[in-house]
Amino acid sequence: MSAQTDPAQRVAIGISFGNSYSSIAFTSSEGKAEVIANEDGDRQIPSVLSYVEGEELHGGQAKSQLVRNAKNTVAYFRDFLGQDFKSIDPTPAHQSAHPVESESTVAFKIRDSEAEEENAVTVGDITTRHLRRLRSSASDYLGKDVNAAVVTVPTNFSESQKEALKSAAKEAGIEVLQFINEPTAAVLAYDARPDAQLTDKTLVVADLGGTRSDVTVIASRGGIYTMLAAVHDFDVSGSKLDQVLIDYFAKEFIKKHKAAGDPRENERSLAKLKLECESVKKALSIGQSANFSVESLAGGVDFTATINRTRYDLLGNKLFAAFTRLVSHAVEKAELDPLDISEIILAGGNSHTPKVAAAVGAAFPETTAVLAPSTSPTAINPSELAVRGAAIQASLIQEFEAEDIEQSLHPMVTVTPHLSTAVGVLLISGDESNGVFHAIVDAETPLPVRRTATITTPREGGDVLIKLVEGSRHIKVTKPEPKPKAEKADDDSEDESEDEEEEEELREKTWKIGSAVSETALRGIKKGAKVEVQINIANDLSVTALFREIGGKGGVRGQVQGKAS
């Protein structure tokens, strides 16, 4: 633990380290997170390293080496870190240096020096070199030596992967203050905006990355986040969207230049196609059409073509639908309904695609806000969400002692009881059967909690009864009146089933009132007065409630003991 820097000397940044891209950000003195561009001017820095005659290339420069120097170029290595060789999926690395087994870890055989020989460089060393370059870019920009960082990781990153990343970072001169989950970082990036309002809400973070997609359902209660469910998919990804374009342009090429052959069958041609298709995809997120052009694509033939967004949306349809299914699946896994979700945060580079936002939004009610550049003017750049969150967290904890951070991350602190039902008051009637439930504390709120709400009282005033009850959310499905069906012959039963699907169900959120917790009498309330209710729920489930007429004095205070557990 001697490598720890004195907290006063720390210069901490946020790092998002991805398979495809990494980024770095810092928090300015005004408390605003800003993403740092490297010396090439890239804010999204490709996680690629390449060696030419002993010289190390990094980021965008290394990425372009995938065409002529693929064997000495390392890419898509993040998920290999801290893994057993047998458990990795080397598919994404097929077009670059292949991973090989090396003792207990994964290595790459590359020519990284001027000598004519290949060295086995472990994935840990590759990560160190990558992080060192990121660190020096950040140091150059800030004019200060960066020595600490908060790093984002996927939610299913194991302890051994984190350990490996931590020691690789240490080698690069970076003290990892904390690992934070990518989706939580995205939520934090939104909540840290000065105009953001903290409300209790349930949201979905859908991260569509280059080689994988992660969807997470998060309950945000008073600025504290709890992950309810997460799904990961390595088949639905941005590289599959690239593939759709690769196939399209390859076919167009073959149509025009039969003799030149299929560019997908030649490694170098395929690498060229791949790079160009990714930039075409990016261009289609901004403009309505994009140009594709590669010099000497295959057989020495140049190829140029254009594609418009409608065509691309059509080609990628299956993948967009698959992504929507993934999001719906995550909501299901959290045992929630789309109606429970108030916001969807789209993260990851592919969330720039307008069709992605449209497809995901279509699976949710109109009340659900989709935060993506094409659907919301206030959306943050989806590629920058994780790194911004990391930078904010870094600025919050950089003055803490390492021991303090460690203690705060302990399960004693982070594991806490969460309410299984919502707690609120009954309005209109004291009777469970026809009262209206007004939720004050939502389900899945971590304890202890304190919430205040204002409720209305009967118009005539006088003495009122306030009943504190539990409520659980139900989805009420109202089927429209079945249309009188025309008699149909047996053979077109297929049409019939389609008709049935078209009948739209009407779904709404209702509250089912559970057991009562307490009853309170407020006497002599003025006409049309409002009552302020404040409830405190402690970890042992004891409830302290305070009921007070607004503008009145006194009020009633009471306590309900929690069940001994």
Partner 1 sequence: PVLPEGWAGEKDFKPVGSLSKTNDRKIEPVGPHFLAYARRVRHKRTFSEDERI
- Considering the complex, what minimum distance in angstroms separates the CB of residue 343 from partner 1? 16
Count CB atoms within 10 A of the CB of residue 214: 24
Nearer CB in complex with partner 1: 278/340? 340
Cβ-based nearer residue to partner 1, 354 or 458: 458
Count CB neighbours of 106 within 10 A: 25
Identity of the residue, 289 or 536, whose beta carbon is nearer to partner 1 in the bound complex:
536
Q: What minimum distance in Å lies between the beta carbon of 417 and partner 1?
A: 4
Token reading at 162: 């984190």
Find out whether 204 and 216 touch, Cβ atoms under 8 Å: yes
**What are the tokens at 541?**
């489930």
Query: Which CB sits closer to partner 1, 314 or 409?
Result: 409
CB 259, min distance to partner 1, A? 58
Nearer to partner 1, 476 or 557 (CB): 557
Please give the helix or strand (H or E) that residue 470 lies within, else none.
strand 462-478
3-state class (DSSP) for residue 373: coil
Least distance between partner 1 and beta carbon 180 (Å): 5
CB of residue 405 vs partner 1: minimum separation in angstroms?
9
Is 353:319 a contact under the CB 8 Å cutoff?
Answer: no
Is 66 or 466 the residue whose CB approaches partner 1 more closely? Answer: 466
Residue in the structure block whose two tokens are 């240096």: 97
Q: Measured from the CB atom, is 87 or 515 closer to partner 1?
A: 515
State the Cα–Cα distance between residues 72 and 527, nearest whole angstrom.
80
Between 293 and 407, whose beta carbon lies closer to partner 1?
Answer: 407
Distance CA 47, CA 23 (A): 9
Our CB check for partner 1 shows the closer of 256 and 557 to be: 557
CB 338 within 8 A of CB 363: yes
Minimum separation from the CB atom of position 2 to partner 1 (A): 25
Order of strands across the sheet that contains 530-537: 449-456, 530-537, 543-549, 556-560
A 10 A CB-CB count for 85 gives 17
Cα 56 to Cα 344: distance, rounded to the nearest angstrom? 40
Q: In b/e form, how buried is each residue of 429-457, taking b as 16+ CB within 10 angstroms?
A: eeeeeebebbbbbbbbbbbebebeeebeb
User: Least distance in Å: CB of 18 to partner 1?
Assistant: 18
Distance (Å, rounded) from C-alpha 82 to C-alpha 35?
28
Rg (CA), the chain: 28
CB of 415 vs partner 1, minimal distance in Å? 5
Give the nearest distance from C-beta 344 to partner 1 in angstroms.
18
